[in-house]
Every structure is written in structure tokens, then in C-alpha cells.
Amino acid sequence: MSAFSVTNVSPGQKWIAGILVAGYALITILPLVWIVATGFKSSADSIAYPPTLLFEPTLEGYVNLFTTQTRQSPEVLAANPPQTWYDGIVHERGLVIAGPSRFGERFMNSVIIGFGSTFLSVFLGTLAAYAFSRFKVPLKDDLLFFVLSTRMMPPIAVAIPVFLMFRSLGLNDTHAGMILLYTAVNLSLAVWLLKGFIDEIPLEYEEAALIDGYTRLQAFYKVVLPQAATGIASTAIFCLIFAWNEYAFAVLLTSGTAQTAPPFIPTIIGVGGQDWPAVAAGATIFLLPVMVFTILLRKHLLRGITFGAVRK
């Protein structure tokens, strides 16, 4: 046996690896822990210095995030005892709930636009990648280079042309406009990633399916798609993360009906002083879908990162 082996690790090596991984995890998790903790702090605890590690958790931040409130005189407050637990939280501060905040809507906008553009990117990307991978397309290499070249500068560099285009097409502040825009940005990544995955699937499987009595399209969804699932899942994660976190275009192109959560969350700060717990609560909720999506698909992602190199 050699002194160094990849598969048989000595206890000492295991310890070193464990400490490194734990250290790295600590560094990456710390900001998340900070955000999640701040969401459950009171306003006073959230700005305390040095930061409080142990605090009395409260849902104040979440209630503030989802509601708008107005100040009332003590008589009015006394005449209207709180009906629910969240009424109670604002009551203690001399406020009553005036109605829901915009956060719910903005969050739904993010869901619609994020998942909508992810679906569209992956759907179109899969079809394009399959065509590039399997058929003789005239000028194939040039087309693929052109597809890639759309990502050679930061998307925001074309913000002004996009803004003007959207204005004259009436796409400003619409869900459709944002879905199209994010799809356009994500599509080149999707095509290139997926082409790599589909190239890995030997042609023989489709040929076998053709001979087994299936049409080309049937062979595509019965034989190619299941084998491309790994690639599709990891591509979807990359697309979703971009669309979900995108800030600059969202600020520029949306203001009302189609505004997503990223440009909305900072505006919470402006309403009635710096409400850090509400901002942190918004960020926490905003993180959840991508986290859940990634955890659900993590098995695929792990294999996806190796780009099919471990097949067979």
C-alpha cells in the first residue's frame, strides 16, 4: 500500500478534513445565523453593541414585515383590546394594525418571476441543447459561440437599452417582462450546461428506442429526459438562484405590480426608522424557497457539478 490513498483515509487525515470542513461551514453559515437571529430579536436587541447572543425571541419583526401599523391614543387602544397574538405584539407599542404590508405581494412576484423564468429557461434550454447536441445545425459552432457571447458582459451593462425597449413594448413593471428578461439572461447558461449533459448520453439509447417502436419525440421524453434529469435539476438551481437574487434590473424595471422582493426589502428600512428585525425577517423568508429547492435537488446538484464525468 502506498502512504497516500484517496479511499483509505487515516484517522489523522479524517480529523484534519473534519476541522477544515467545520471551519468553512462556520464561516459561511455565520451571516445566515446572524440574519435568522436578528429576525427574532426586538428592535433594541438588534442594534445592541456588543451584539446579544442570548435574547428573548419575539415575532415583532415578522409582524412588522407583514403589516402596516398606525399609532393610536391610549383611549382607543384601551377600547379595542387585541383580538389575536399579533394584535397583542403591536398593541404593547401603542400601535394598531392598519392592514397587510406589500411584502406578501412582492414575495409572490418573486415566486412567479423566479420560478416562471427558471421553467422557461430550462424548457427552452433543453430543447435547444438537444438540437445542438444531436442534429447537424448549420453554423453550429458560431451559433453556440453567439449564445455564450450574450454572457460575456454583465447583463446590467445593457440596462438602458433594455429599459427603453421595455418602455416602448409596454413590458415595464410586468411579470411577463421580467420573466422574459431573466430567461434571456439565463438561457445561454442553460443551453451550454444542458448541452454538456445531453452530449454525455450515448446516441445508442435513442436509436434503441427508435427501433423498439418509438418516435423521435417519444424517445426524447422516455429515454433522453430521464437521463438528463440530473443536468436539468442542476441547471434549474443555477437559473433560479440568478432570477431569485437579481436586484439591479428589478430596481430599474419594476416599481409596483411586478416588483420582486429584493428591491422591496431595503425599502422596509425607510418606513418609520430602521426596523432591522423586519428587514432580517424579510431576508429569512426570502432565503427559504431557494434553500428548500436546493436541498430537494441537492443529490442531483452534487452529481451535476461533476458534469456527468462519473457516468459508467
Partner 1 sequence: MAEVELAAITKNFGRTCALDGVSMTVPDGAFVVLLGPTGAGKTTTLRIVAGLERPESGEVRIGGMPVTSLTPAQRNVAMVFQQYSLYPHMTVRENLAFPLKSPQLRTPPEQIERKLREVAEMLQISHKLDNRATALSGGEMQRVSIGRALVRNPAVYLMDEPLSSLDAKLRADLRVELKGIQAEMGATFLYVTHDQTEAMTMATHVGVLDRGRLVQIGSPREIYENPISIYAASRLGQPRINVLPADLFAGAPAGAKTIGLRPEQIRQGEGEDSIVTRVEHLGDQTRLHLSFRHHALVTVTDPHTALRSGDVVRIRPERPFYFDASGARVH
- Name the site residues for partner 1 (rule: CB under 8 A): 202, 204-205, 207-216, 218, 223, 226-227
**Three cell numbers written together for 261:** 422582493
Minimum CB distance to partner 1 smaller for 46 or for 230: 230
Nearest-approach distance from CB 306 to partner 1, in angstroms: 16
In the complex, minimum distance from the CB of residue 27 to partner 1, in angstroms, rounded to a whole number: 38
- Nearer CB in complex with partner 1: 167/311: 311
| Smallest gap from residue 89 Cβ to partner 1 (A) | 52
Grid cell digits, residue 274: 430602521
Which is closer to partner 1, CB of 42 or CB of 227?
Answer: 227
Nearer to partner 1, 56 or 204 (CB): 204
C-alpha cell at 108: 409572490
Output phi, psi for 48, to 5 deg. -65, 145
Nearer to partner 1, 178 or 223 (CB): 223
Burial annotation 178-206 (CB, 10 A radius, 16+ → b, else e): bbbbbbbbbbbbbbbbbbbbbebbeeeeb
Minimum distance of partner 1 from residue 227's CB (angstroms): 6
Cβ proximity of 64 and 277 under 8 Å: yes
Q: Identify which of residues 109 and 133 has a Cβ nearer to partner 1 in the complex.
A: 133
**CB 229, min distance to partner 1, A:** 8
Q: Is residue 150 helix, strand or coil?
A: coil
Q: Quick check: helix, strand or coil at residue 42?
A: coil
We find the least distance from the C-beta atom of residue 308 to partner 1, in angstroms, to be 12
Ranges assigned E (strand) in the chain: 67-71, 95-100
Q: Closer to partner 1 by CB, 196 or 289: give it.
A: 196
150, 188 Cβ separation under 8 angstroms: yes
Neighbours of 107 (CB within 10 A): 21
- Packed helices 103-134 and 175-200: angle between N→C axes, nearest 10 degrees: 40
Residue 123 Cβ vs partner 1, minimum distance, rounded to whole Å: 20
**What count of other Cβ atoms lies within 10 Å of the Cβ of residue 174?**
17
Angle at 278 between CA 32 and CA 296, to 5 degrees: 40
